Structure 1
């Protein structure tokens, strides 16, 4: 008993530090890794056993998988799809937002998903004149529910799975959580469509940001109507010849911004060069300097067919190409020259679209304007070229980059490869052909092999605080088991609900786990409650699976306070929320999650 008292004292001390937030959670975990062996209850090997746990390696690998999805732009493209499909309908926005976030969160960190979608949601709210607070809570709820979709969706699932394996049971399957998560997601969508009226009432619609968007720049430089998309037909004289042979800029007054070419994995955007050869089926993105240019006649002359446009001024290709404003400095070699004389495109790899002198855009064609100190040049081209302007064109100043530049994926051309690798990794995990950790590591290696992520980005992507937190809390599970603490809690629960129906047992376990999660992270909660659930199952002589699943689901039901999960904490500021907003919205839905869990778990995982 003295040993148990010491362990409980350290546990209570850790919970208090978690609740106060001082020191940070991973520091508390490391303190406990050092303190527990000093008590003599466990040895140093037990204290450090978490570092050798396959689930720790698996969680680390999943952070790398998530980063690969971000770097290749898959997550951002889903966000762009959401914007196109939802339009200005708030109800449609909420439905699609929650479905997309829950889907992505099934395969990567829910915290990472929220970090990706916060700027997307802010942009949606701004464009639709909706208070951001009406969308941020659905975002956080969907991210938390994503943890109930697959085995690898959140750390608590893997913690509970690992505890089952350590006790000699077969762990959960990859999609074992999906039958519980899907109904809860559907109920959450309906719930948020009703509850949204209680959110964002005190906030004005999101104000426009000071940084421009691509649309703002196009409007400021009067580019409306200048963009065209033309596909090359088999009869085109351009086919198989170099672009330099036609001088389309000089003879027709058009600039080829980029060329779309079909590949095995979709369409690739290419930068046009003088030696570039045109192929049948290529799509040319064209800027026509003169509004009087007869595009139908030009298309007929060169064997081209006009295509419909997407967003304003090629905004639908904002992952590959963008715009920015460059300021001409006093000592620039371009002063006193036109962009043609100064070989601007060769210097920067960018196309000059417009020039502004002072506050007014100059109507004269760009190629005819003699540049002066202080002129602002609007350019379009690959984001990489825009970012290189300060290094490659030292006398041009990158003055104003649009807000879309923050969302650019550095390996967007690798998106098809990333999608195939992700599907293969998930298939390996779901099939059980190899252990989950082997499948995840193989996926990481393939991401690196195909250029979806590099080693530096992979190391940076790992959320070491989460891994250290789990490693630091696992020794508590071992110490409580050796000192009889787990059995005492199990016996206490048995005395309280032992004669009750099975669903009452599950409800009690759910409430205990959820309440503990109000004070410590849901990962730490799972570490402590998973062995209790398995011990309680042994005392009741029932299957451990329904009790273990209840703990996992309750750990993800962290809707009730802004500190219950990092997911909630992230949306407090952007949503302009108060503590009471989470209580008002989160507590009722936590009760919904409780009812669904108690009803479904015994049906799908019999006692």
Structure 2
């Protein structure tokens, strides 16, 4: 063993120790590695920086942007709405649909982002059908991990392994090359949860889920007693409300009616949109109205203006939180507003928002909001479009905008562009499957179209990219070159061959899977793939077999991080909502990991024979 091998293996060991200790950021470790390669003379500067020019690194960054586009257009959230309708009260149906939806979305966007989106949806569903969150959260994380096995672009390790195959003179993986394996494992996961997993999860001690941090809109509605006053009224043909602007109608002065929003049909959906003083109404519009008055006064208003009352469910505001929001604002000590009424301030015209509640000394003011003089210390509940609520932050002279409610995380500012976002993703997938252009060009074209269709803007695009992940990949990529040039790769391959070389190819795949899954307990799946991809290909070449079954086995094993809550961010996300302990992941995850290994070892050689030709 020469000095060069000792240097490379020593640096590799140091990197693993730093990853496991978690005392230094992963992206910082990656930059330190690049520096160490050049300073030590193990690699030249172009070799150490080759990752910055790798097409797959750019492809990974572009996939983060595409995932953000699906979030901003509300595609991900609409899948959650679909689940609410289809799951009914069946826990088994809920779990199956949830896993299918998460895995499908995760195949074209960040699995961590998908799971984060679905956690509140899953908690809501669990509460509605009366099951413990523990029975929902772990299937959610399992589906997020399995999504990485469905397409080439689903997770960075797949792209890393494809890039290594191409670098060593083999053909890159196709978009759907691992999909058959992933689909089988997804079905296996659903069956495992339904038959065995739920019994294992039933042993998890449950605690009531309490929302931490920001309040939800429903809490604000109760605090300001808005539910007792709000109603939905549909405008009938011939109504006097059709045509004039809201300012000219003077509905507040004439009837005490404060219009908060308009439900209007757009395509196949009814969207709730905010109103301004210049808003005009159409026949069959549904008005969301804060109406102060006795029941007979409300009936008189409906008769005179030809309005038909419609039911208003208690969760109405929360269900429409992506369009219209609620927020609390307080009058600061030096505000110019105390002593003035909302009518005098022309609040709606000035701020394009409606004040739907006032709280004074802990009590809600429920009558005559328009003509009640504001006082120092009052808090106002405002309703309107989220962008206008955020605009209040600029009026620091008069207002203090409290923390926005939790539903702001579900805001989809470009929801009208959802069909266009789906078209862009479909075009990208079609180009990748056809092979007419390189994958990175297909993804770049999709991102450009998302921008052109206003599904995403440059600020949100840059913000969506997980730069630490990219730097980790860039910093670890030179290891393959260093391992090869120093002879360390040949040494590692020889070591595995001596240990397992006399085994059958199937047993060698099992050994590779176990090594990858074990390393993945301590370092990220991307780093695992970067380390083991050249080893797997080298073992295959030494055995005189095709490298594809070995490389794909490493890709599957890198995503099979089911065994501990710290082996993947996806697992960490569900740890607290599910009230899990470390041992819960071991009890549920270890048997399933062994099932995945068995399925991989048996299926991969059928799709990718060991024969090199």
TM-score, length of structure 2 as denominator length: 0.89
**1:564 corresponding residue in structure 2:** 567
**1:527 corresponding residue in structure 2:** 530
Q: Matches of 1:491 and 1:523 in 2, distance apart?
A: 24
> Which deviations, in whole Å up to 9, do the C-alpha atoms of 1:474-506 show, x marking residues without a partner?
222122223343334334444444454442232
Closer, same or farther: CA 187–227 of 1 in aligned 2, 3 Å: farther
Does the alignment pair 1:580 with 2:583? yes
Instruction: Identify the range of structure 1 (82-91 vs 337-346) with the bigger mean alpha-carbon deviation.
Output: 82-91
> Which deviations, in whole Å up to 9, do the C-alpha atoms of 1:380-435 show, x marking residues without a partner?
21122222224347334334643223432444444443333223222222332211
SS of match in other structure, 1:151: coil
**2:326 corresponding residue in structure 1:** 323
Alignment check: 8 A CA contact 2:276 2:348 kept: no
Instruction: Identify the range of structure 1 (259-268 vs 12-21) with the bigger mean alpha-carbon deviation.
Output: 259-268
Alignment check: 8 A CA contact 1:105 1:146 kept: yes
RMSD of the alignment, in Å?
3.1
Alignment check: 8 A CA contact 2:277 2:348 kept: no
Q: How far did residue 58 of structure 1 move? A: 0.6
Q: Matches of 2:50 and 2:531 in 1, distance apart?
A: 16
> Which deviations, in whole Å up to 9, do the C-alpha atoms of 1:496-518 show, x marking residues without a partner?
44454442232222112212222
> Which deviations, in whole Å up to 9, do the C-alpha atoms of 1:97-149 show, x marking residues without a partner?
32332222111222333344445555666777765544432232221111011
> Which deviations, in whole Å up to 9, do the C-alpha atoms of 1:134-191 show, x marking residues without a partner?
4432232221111011110101100111122222322222122221222222222333
SS of match in other structure, 2:562: coil
Q: Matches of 2:580 and 2:29 in 1, distance apart?
A: 28
Alignment check: 8 A CA contact 1:348 1:392 kept: no
> Which deviations, in whole Å up to 9, do the C-alpha atoms of 1:28-77 show, x marking residues without a partner?
32232233345544322222211111101111111222222333333344
Q: How far did residue 332 of structure 1 move? A: 4.5
Q: How far did residue 594 of structure 1 move? A: 0.5
**1:512 corresponding residue in structure 2:** 515
Q: Matches of 1:29 and 1:519 in 2, distance apart?
A: 16
**2:379 corresponding residue in structure 1:** 376
Does the alignment pair 1:65 with 2:70? no
> Which deviations, in whole Å up to 9, do the C-alpha atoms of 1:74-98 show, x marking residues without a partner?
3344345445655776545433432
**1:75 corresponding residue in structure 2:** 76
Closer, same or farther: CA 329–22 of 1 in aligned 2, 3 Å: closer
**1:250 corresponding residue in structure 2:** 253
- Structure 2 residue corresponding to 1:596, chosen from 576, 596, 599: 599
**2:197 corresponding residue in structure 1:** 195
**2:95 corresponding residue in structure 1:** 94
Does the alignment pair 1:33 with 2:34? yes
SS of match in other structure, 2:380: strand
Closer, same or farther: CA 479–264 of 1 in aligned 2, 3 Å: same
User: 1:225-244 maps to which residues of 2 (within 5 A)?
Assistant: 226-244=229-247
Q: Matches of 1:425 and 1:291 in 2, distance apart?
A: 57
Q: Matches of 1:418 and 1:375 in 2, distance apart?
A: 43
Alignment check: 8 A CA contact 1:335 1:371 kept: yes
Alignment check: 8 A CA contact 1:347 1:393 kept: no
Alignment check: 8 A CA contact 2:65 2:461 kept: yes
Counting matched residue pairs gives 607
Q: Matches of 1:294 and 1:188 in 2, distance apart?
A: 58
User: 1:396-435 maps to which residues of 2 (within 5 A)?
Assistant: 396-399=399-402, 401-435=404-438
Q: Matches of 1:384 and 1:92 in 2, distance apart?
A: 37
Q: How far did residue 298 of structure 1 move? A: 5.1
Alignment check: 8 A CA contact 2:56 2:159 kept: yes
Q: How far did residue 436 of structure 1 move? A: 0.9
Closer, same or farther: CA 393–538 of 1 in aligned 2, 3 Å: closer
Alignment check: 8 A CA contact 2:276 2:353 kept: no
Structure 1 gap ranges (5+): none
**2:9 corresponding residue in structure 1:** 8
SS of match in other structure, 1:388: helix
Alignment check: 8 A CA contact 2:353 2:384 kept: yes
**1:111 corresponding residue in structure 2:** 112
User: 1:342-361 maps to which residues of 2 (within 5 A)?
Assistant: 342-361=345-364
